[in-house]
Amino acid sequence: MPDTISAIVSPLRSLEVLSQHEVNRLRDTSKAGLHDLLRRCSLAVLSSGSMTDDSLVLMETYHDFDIEVIQQDRGIRLKVTNAPAEAFVDGKMIRGIREHLSSVLRDIVYVYNEIQRHSRFDLTTGEGTSNAVFHILRKAGTLKPGRDPGLVVCWGGHSITREEYEYTKDVGYHLGLRELDICTGCGPGAMKGPMKGANLAHAKQRVADGRYLGISEPGIIAAEAPNPLVNELVVMPDIEKRLEAFVRVGHGIVVFPGGVGTAEEILYLLGILLHPDNHDMAMPVIFTGPENSSEYFERIDEFLVYTLGESVRSKYRIIVDDPIEVARTMRKGIDAVTEFRRTHQDAFHYNWRLTIARDFQDTFEPTHEAMASLALHRNQPVHELAANLRRAFSGIVSGNVKEQGLRAIEAHGPFQLHAEPELMHRLDDLLSSFVDQGRMKLPGQEYVPCYRLA
């Protein structure tokens, strides 16, 4: 049995000043059916640094962990019972973990009450969804209207080689030297490396307010806890709003080697940029990695060209084994974004101008039936095919690491995907290459496919 500690802590940054009405709504999470979700995500935050991406294993290891919101006249406190001992130093919770725990409470409980159940947000429309994403980010203090564009979104896998990880640090370092900030999915691997590199560069450049923004969602955060460098954490309600948050707040995107989750992010981004309304959108996108990961991007590039057409290559640039060139290209690209936003009088802190079709906003529940019925054929507009491929990869991610997906696979066996023959062959090759390259699980863990291509 692992060492545990029980304690009562005050929230930091997010929820120090609350009205009595807000406290009452936060206090009893069980009435809203949120207690189990809060418990799972809180445990993941408190277990930051553990080498597992299996949320079921984590919950079984700390099966007697619990968290409770306690009401006081001056606000709330959090009572944690049998929490992982590594979250504490000499009996006191580490400050960064305390901040992350507060962010989890804010976004899961507060947002549930004030955003998802509020009549002013119509989440069945594109405008209402984008407005809700804006309000969640604003409540978290993520939107910085006084700053020039400079936030680089970095995507990539949590299961990468040591050489790939060192490369992500090098890229982050050179981005940081150019005083650019970093936003990632906040977990380990390619989500941590760029922040670590930028942190050192910011120190050299005496950047006192460097930003290391992590954007997650409940199903992911339970498997990929925030890394310690994250100084701003936002937990969006679902994967679709998480992805929209990335592209609305980011000014440029760097994609490192990854697995199915990274492929999902690529398809989401390119599906949006291929929409006719976004043909002139300024958004620098770079795929990059060390020399030995060039095959990964060759496979991705081939798959994208086959499924989405040759023109898709105009939306990204592949730079292999050259961190300085990546940083220089991104700096120039973000300067162009600044000029574009000024010309079109668009906000620097939130990209309202970007058109995101409903296919990319509707919440996809990866059930066996939903996965089997996905339209995976090329007889449809490319941005619609990208949306369906994104859903397929999202379902595989769910079956790999999310509790709901893991339980569905355990109960009913692998998901089945149906596609036209050549597309199926290409999809099979791409997914098989991810498995062969060890990109589906953390090093040392056996991967059992959660999907079957029918």
Q: Which CATH number fits domain 4-118: 2.40.40.20, 3.30.1850.10, 3.40.50.10540, 3.90.1170.50?
A: 3.30.1850.10
Query: How does DSSP assign 144-197, residue by residue?
Result: -TTS-S-EEEEE--SS--HHHHHHHHHHHHHHHHTT-EEEE-SSSGGGTHHHHH
Model confidence at 313, pLDDT cuts 50, 70, 90, reads very high
- Ranges 86-95, 332-341, 386-395, most confident: 332-341
Strands 317-320 and 212-216: unpaired
9: left (phi over 0), alpha (psi -120 to 50) or beta: beta
Whether the Cβ atoms of residue 233 and residue 99 lie closer than 8 Å to each other: yes
What is the mean pLDDT of the segment spanning 293-304?
92
Q: Over 90: is that where the pLDDT of 233 sits?
A: yes
pLDDT reported for residue 372 = 92
Q: Which of 229-233, 334-338, 430-434 has the lowest mean pLDDT?
A: 430-434
pLDDT reported for residue 355 = 94
User: In angstroms, rounded to a whole number, what is the distance separating the alpha carbons of residues 30 and 229?
Assistant: 31
Condensed to tens digits (0 to 9), the pLDDT of residues 64-80 reads 898 888 877 666 788 99
pLDDT reported for residue 315 = 96
Residue linked to tokens 């606000």: 75
What value does the mean pLDDT of the chain take? 88
What is the mean pLDDT of the segment spanning 182-205?
95
Which CB contacts under 8 angstroms, 24+ apart, belong to 124-133? 126/356, 126/357, 126/358, 126/361, 129/241, 129/244, 129/361, 130/244, 130/248, 130/352, 130/356, 130/361, 132/241, 133/236, 133/241, 133/244, 133/245, 133/248
Q: Over 70: is that where the pLDDT of 56 sits?
A: no
Is-same-fold flag (4-118; 144-454)? no
pLDDT reported for residue 343 = 94
pLDDT reported for residue 442 = 61
Number of residues written out for the chain: 454
Q: Over 80: is that where the pLDDT of 120 sits?
A: no
Greater confidence, 170 or 24? 170
Q: Over 60: is that where the pLDDT of 53 sits?
A: no
Q: 218 vs 104, 241, 261, 308, 389, CA distance in Å? A: 9, 12, 15, 30, 22
- Listed in sequence order, the residues at least 6 apart from 300 whose beta carbon sits closer than 8 Å to its beta carbon are 263, 266, 287, 430
Is this structure's pTM higher than 0.85?
A: yes
- Ranges 173-177, 340-344, 385-389, 422-426, most confident: 173-177
What is the mean pLDDT of the segment spanning 386-415?
86
Q: Over 90: is that where the pLDDT of 268 sits?
A: yes
CATH number of 144-454: 3.40.50.450
Model confidence at 396, pLDDT cuts 50, 70, 90, reads confident
Domain limits of the chain? Answer: 4-118, 144-454
Angle at the Cα of 294 from the Cα atoms of 191 and 170, rounded to 5 degrees:
40
Sheet strand arrangement including 212-216: 232-235, 212-216, 181-184, 151-155, 252-255, 285-289, 317-320
Greater confidence, 3 or 333? 333
What sign does the dihedral 93-100-191-229 (CA atoms) show? negative
